[in-house]
Amino acid sequence: MQSLLRFLLPAIVLTTAGLLFSSSLFSQKQITLEDIWQNGTFQTKGVPGFNFQKDGIHFTRLNGAVIEQYDLRTGEKSGTIFDAASVTNAEKSWKGAFDGYSFSTDESKILLATGTEPIYRWSTKAEFFVFDQKTKKITALHEGTKQRYAAFSPDGSKVGYVLENDLYFKDLISGQNTRITIDGKINAIINGASDWVYEEEFELVRAFEWSPDGSKIAFLRFDEREVPEMTMEMYRGGMYPEEVTFKYPKVGEKNAVVTPWIYDLKTRKVLQVNTASALTSDELTNDFYLPRITWTPDNRLCLTWMNRHQNHQKLLLAEQGPDGIQCKILLEEKNKYYLDLHDVKFLSDGSGFILQSEKSGFNHLYKYDMTGKEVAALTKGDWEVTNFYGVDEKNDIVYFQAASKNPMQRELYSVKLNGKGQKKISKEGGFHSAQFSSTFDYFVNTFSTLNSPPVYTVCDRKGKAIRLLEQNKEVAARQLEYGTIPAGFFNFKTSEQVTLNGWMIKPTAPQYQNQKLPVLMFVYGGPGSQQVTDAWKGANYWWFQMLAQQGYVVACVDNRGTGGRGEEFKKMTYQQLGKMETEDQIEAAKYLGTLPFVDPARVGIFGWSYGGYMSSLCLLKGKDVFKSGIAVAPVTNWKWYDSIYTERYMRTNKENPEGYEQNSPINFADQLQGNYLLVHGLADDNVHFQHTAEMANSLIARNKQFDTMIYPNRNHGIGGGNAKIHLYTLMTNFLNEKLKGETKEAARP
């Protein structure tokens, strides 16, 4: 994304003229689906339960039921913070095991989560316990029903949490639990937690925040009584299916009515924040979103307001006045397309805040004072800031990640708070991400490339490596053992003279030389996304390598609308999602078909979610180019997807009927000529099974033959049990038969 550069990798070089390869890179050992999805043969290691401590030189890791402390600089164990087996003073409900933990600000108390259950993508519920390091006592947060989003107050004396859609807090000194709200009800009112669509699209889960002085709790109340319901059926072996019903606003439907509130612990009063004082009559009449709540250092509430079209944002400051809690505008921004959501970072000295914006045409960091006046552009240029890590206020230094040299790579940088003295602190090319200590003296650098697994290194603030945490040597050794083929980057120009980036894996075994080989294209292609990055691709890397061992060329191209190349490249697909993306993927397939080792009559495409939407459109609109397509959990008509995501990019069906009509796969079922595999989980709460059911109906009505598979009780990720290996066996067999032209099936578990 951005100005496109060509990469040269040591063993493989892709150019528009052809491919150079090393004939010595033939497979030495066969990759199997069992190795990928069952045996853990290729699984990379991370750093589980890693938490920096406030001194900036120690970290803790979870080892079974023990929280261990280590010196960040030496890696030596410094001590044991908590050992569940040694607890002697605990309430009867404590079972002696836990699966997550967090510290109070002063680290004197530990919040322990046990029996954690997922709800949707980010949300969970669990039984929480508090361990006091001074008294060595474990106390239950709330006996009985599992709680959500437990969070310490700033001084560690209290814990806020959500229970059955109401907001509570526990005073750890008195042991008293206080119920703040009383109207919470499933599928009706939610206090202190978000609804499904806020969680999925704004990544907001906990919808309450303690004030810095701990005297107040701000929270959002979701009234979703008028939001239409979605029902999924779960099959668990009972006499009848179990129905799961939840609120899900689709395009143009009613969203939850969200209002901000503040609870004062001293007066025990709950007061509504009046946003009307900072909004126009039109803004009040129409729907809007409140996707972020935070506090300023001087205990003023800041709300992020966004209109339903998501092209107008305001930061609102709430203050107590004679007529209640009123709001004023701190900062305002509009965009002709849409605005991405970013967190605001207030500086602790009260001098201002830092926020990201694309107002220059590229995403950059800006510093503002507390009147909303821009003080400094911290970063600038025709490149993108891709992550903001925070501010070392002691030294006036900001740390961030960027794609400044190449849209496919990520580097780490620092810059002064006045926008001067920018320094690159990562070294080699590839993909870097960072996790900084509380003092910013050290950070853990996670580094990988397209052909090398993640390496975790402790570095000082200047980027100097102090020691290695994890190298994933075993996985790197597996690459040699199994003779993996280095992927290479390429680019090409479309008929509209747009340069697109891609990566490719070409079989190098002797039996595949001088042959015309089948191609599987992998696609996602959604707004702001990137698949063509110089970063490790996880389990799919090994499946693609397995296919290459079997004689497939595997390729991936990032179309227009993807990220890393500036606002115009990303947002040119606005109100016509799928159009340019499909045109680009079809042109990519045609380009690949011109390569001397590719059989243009055997090009297939595979995608999941937005990628399944894309693979469906490509197979239908590119019927003369694609022989086969696999769509897992695809969107097939935008009018059936959620309000926040779809309207951000497409507006509503009523506002943009042509955009919906011309870019929804269900409307092109009559054009199916190739082989189509349609896959979906029946318990997909995100892209509902409705998309696949209606697509199947449309194909059947036109007497179009296709293959399909459903996965009962499986969500959008289709995991659990043997679901993954079953799915990848299904897809491999489909490709062998429908694309490669063989009837031999993949190895079955």
The pLDDT of residue 745 is above 90: no
Q: Does 687 lie in the same domain as 564?
A: yes
Q: What is the pLDDT of residue 545?
A: 98
Q: Does 707 lie in the same domain as 568?
A: yes
Name residue, tokens 């949490």: 161
Domain membership of residue 133 (yes or no) is no
Q: Does 499 lie in the same domain as 461?
A: no
The pLDDT of residue 325 is above 70: yes
Q: Which of 519, 532, 706, 677 has the alpha carbon at shortest distance from 608?
A: 677
Secondary structure E strands in 596-641 = 598-608, 628-632
Domain count, the chain: 2
The residue-averaged pLDDT of 119-145 equals: 95
Domain membership of residue 93 (yes or no) is no
Give the domain range for residue 496: 12-37+488-740
Q: Does 443 lie in the same domain as 394?
A: yes
Domain membership of residue 634 (yes or no) is yes
The residue-averaged pLDDT of 671-696 equals: 98
Secondary structure E strands in 417-494 = 423-424, 431-436, 442-449, 452-460, 465-470, 488-493
Q: Does 715 lie in the same domain as 627?
A: yes
The pLDDT of residue 22 is above 70: no
Instruction: Return the CATH number at 544.
Output: 3.40.50.1820
List, for residues 690-742, the tens digit of each pLDDT value.
Answer: 999 999 999 999 999 999 999 999 999 999 999 999 999 999 999 999 999 97
Q: Does 716 lie in the same domain as 599?
A: yes
The pLDDT of residue 2 is above 60: no
Question: Mean of the per-residue pLDDT values for the chain?
Answer: 94
Rounded Cα gap, residues 146 and 322, in angstroms: 40
Name the CA radius of gyration of the chain, rounded: 27
Q: What is the pLDDT of residue 268?
A: 97
Q: What is the pLDDT of residue 5?
A: 28
The pLDDT of residue 589 is above 90: yes
Q: What is the pLDDT of residue 242?
A: 96
Q: Does 506 lie in the same domain as 419?
A: no
Domain membership of residue 298 (yes or no) is no
Q: Does 687 lie in the same domain as 559?
A: yes
Q: What is the pLDDT of residue 646?
A: 98
Domain membership of residue 531 (yes or no) is yes
Could you give the C-alpha distances from 308 to 254, 313, 474, 640, in angstroms and in order?
Answer: 11, 10, 49, 17
Q: Does 541 lie in the same domain as 632?
A: yes
List, for residues 195-224, the tens digit of each pLDDT value.
Answer: 999 999 999 999 999 999 999 999 999 999
- Give helix 610-621 / helix 579-593 axis angle, nearest 10°: 60
The pLDDT of residue 420 is above 70: yes
Half-sphere exposure of 488 (CA within 13 A, CB side): 23
Could you give the C-alpha distances from 267 to 169, 180, 264, 271, in angstroms and in order?
Answer: 15, 12, 6, 11
Domain membership of residue 684 (yes or no) is yes
Q: Does 464 lie in the same domain as 500?
A: no
Query: What is the side-by-side order of every strand in the sheet holding 384-392?
Result: 384-392, 397-403, 411-416, 423-424
The pLDDT of residue 309 is above 60: yes
The pLDDT of residue 15 is above 70: no
Domain membership of residue 167 (yes or no) is no
SS3 (DSSP) at 737: helix
Domain membership of residue 635 (yes or no) is yes
Q: Which of 92, 59, 54, 705 has the alpha carbon at shortest distance from 444?
A: 59
> Quick one: what percent of the chain has pLDDT higher than 70?
95
> Quick one: what percent of the chain has pLDDT higher than 90?
91
Rounded Cα gap, residues 55 and 712, in angstroms: 48
The pLDDT of residue 634 is above 70: yes
Place 16 in a pLDDT band, splitting at 50, 70 and 90: very low
Q: What is the pLDDT of residue 18?
A: 34
Q: Does 495 lie in the same domain as 416?
A: no
Q: Does 464 lie in the same domain as 503?
A: no
Q: What is the pLDDT of residue 7?
A: 24
The pLDDT of residue 454 is above 50: yes
